[in-house]
Chains A and B, each alone.
Chain A
Amino acid sequence: MEHTAADIRFSDVSVTYPNGYTGLKNINLTIPAGEMVGIVGLSGAGKSTLIRTINGLVPITSGSINVGAHQLNGRGGTQLRGKDLRELRSNVGMVFQSFNLAKRTTVLNNVLMGRLYHSPAWRTLLGAWKNDDVELAMAALERVEIVPKAYEKASSLSGGQQQRVAIARTLAQRPQVILADEPVASLDPPTSHVVMRDLQRINAELGITVVVNLHFLDLARRYSDRLIGLRSGEVVFDGAGADADESVFENIYGRSLTAEDVLGNKAEL
Chain B
Amino acid sequence: MSTSVTSSPQPQPKTQRPTKPRHGAKSLAAVVLLVAITIWAGIGVQVDLPAIAANWRNATTNIIQLLQPDYGFFPKTIPALLETLQMAVIATVIGSALSLPLAFLASRATNPRPKLLAGVRFVMNMIRSVPDILFASILVAVVGVGALSGIMALVLFNVGIIVKLVSESLDGEDAGAQEAALAAGASWPKANRAAMLPQILPSFASQVLYTFELNIRASTVIGLVGAGGLGILIDNVRSFFRYHELSLIILEILVLVLVLESLSAWLRKKLV
Are A113 and B177 in contact (CB-based, < 8 A)? Answer: yes
Q: Is A89 an interface residue (CB 8 A)?
A: yes
Contact check, A100 vs B198: say whether CB atoms are below 8 A apart: no
- Give, as a whole number of angstroms, the nearest-CB distance from A140 to chain B: 12
Question: Are B186 and A117 in touch, CB under 8 angstroms?
Answer: yes
Cβ–Cβ contact B183 & A121, under 8 A: no
Query: Contact at A105–B180, with CB atoms within 8 Å?
Result: no
Report if A89-B183 is in contact (Cβ < 8 Å); known contacts: A99-B176, A116-B190. Answer: yes
Contact of B85 with A by CB under 8 A: no
| A113 B186 Cβ-Cβ under 8 A | yes
Least Cβ–Cβ distance between A111 and chain B, in angstroms: 11
Q: Contacts A109-B194, A121-B190, A124-B194 given: A101-B177 contact, CB under 8 Å?
A: yes
A116's contact among B176, B184, B196, B202, by CB below 8 Å, is which?
B184
Q: How far in angstroms is the closest Cβ of chain B from A197? A: 22
A94-B180, A100-B179 known; A117 vs B185 contact (CB < 8 Å):
yes
Kindly state whether residue A53 has any CB partner on chain B within 8 Å: no
Interface pair A94/B183, CB less than 8 Å apart? yes
Given A117-B185, A170-B184, decide whether A98 and B194 contact each other with a Cβ distance below 8 A: no
CB distance B177 to A119 under 8 Å?
no
CA distance A98 to B179 in the complex (A): 12
Q: Which of B179, B190, B191, B198 contacts A109 (CB 8 A)?
A: B198
Collect the chain A residues with CB atoms within 8 Å of residue B179's CB.
57, 96, 100
> Is A93 an interface residue, CB under 8 A from the partner?
yes
**Once the chains bind, are B185 and A87 in contact (CB under 8 Å)?**
yes
Within 8 A of A (CB), among B186-200: 186-187, 189-191, 193-196, 198-199
B189 cross-chain contacts in A, Cβ below 8 A: 121
- Residues of A with C-beta under 8 A to B184: 89-90, 93-94, 113-114, 116-117, 169-170, 173
Are B198 and A116 in contact, CB atoms less than 8 angstroms apart?
no
Q: How far is the CA of A103 from the CA of B189 in the complex (A)?
A: 19
A114 and B185 alpha carbons, distance in the complex (Å): 8
Contacts of A92 in B (CB 8 A): 183
Chain A: minimal CB distance from B198 (Å) = 4
**Which residues A55-111 have CB closer than 8 A to chain B?**
55, 57, 86-94, 96, 98-105, 109-110
User: When chains A and B are docked, how far (Å) is the Cα of A86 from the Cα of B183?
Assistant: 8
CB of A125 within 8 Å of the partner chain:
yes
Report B177 CB to chain A, min CB distance, Å.
4
Closest B-chain residue to A170, C-beta based?
B184
B190 x A169 contact (CB < 8 A): no
Q: Which bucket holds chain A's interface residue count? A: 35 or more
Chain B residues with CB under 8 A of A57: 179, 182-183
A86-B187, A117-B184 are known contacts. Are A100 and B194 too (CB-CB below 8 A)? no
Residues of B within 8 A of A166 (CB): 180
Q: Does B181 contact A (CB under 8 A)?
A: yes
- State whether the Cβ of B201 lies closer than 8 Å to any Cβ in chain A: yes
For A212, what are the chain B residues with a Cβ–Cβ distance below 8 Å?
none
Smallest CB-CB separation from A94: which chain B residue?
A: B183
A74–B263 Cα distance when bound, in Å, is 58
Chain A residues whose CB sits within 8 angstroms of the CB of B181 once the complex forms: 113, 116
Minimal Cβ-Cβ distance residue in B for A95: B180
Q: Could you say which residues of chain A place their CB within 8 Å of the CB of B202?
A: 104
CB distance from A72 to the nearest CB of B (A): 14
Closest Cβ of chain B to A9, distance in Å, is 20
B interface footprint on A142-154 (CB within 8 Å = 1, 0 otherwise)? 0000000000000
Known: A109-B194, A116-B186. 12 other contacts (CB 8 A): A86-B186, A89-B184, A90-B185, A92-B183, A101-B176, A113-B177, A113-B191, A116-B184, A116-B191, A116-B194, A121-B187, A173-B184
Contacts A/B (CB < 8 Å), 28 sampled? A55-B183, A57-B179, A86-B186, A89-B182, A89-B184, A93-B184, A94-B180, A94-B184, A96-B176, A99-B176, A100-B177, A100-B179, A102-B195, A102-B199, A103-B199, A104-B198, A104-B202, A105-B198, A110-B177, A113-B180, A113-B191, A113-B195, A116-B184, A116-B185, A121-B189, A121-B190, A124-B190, A170-B184
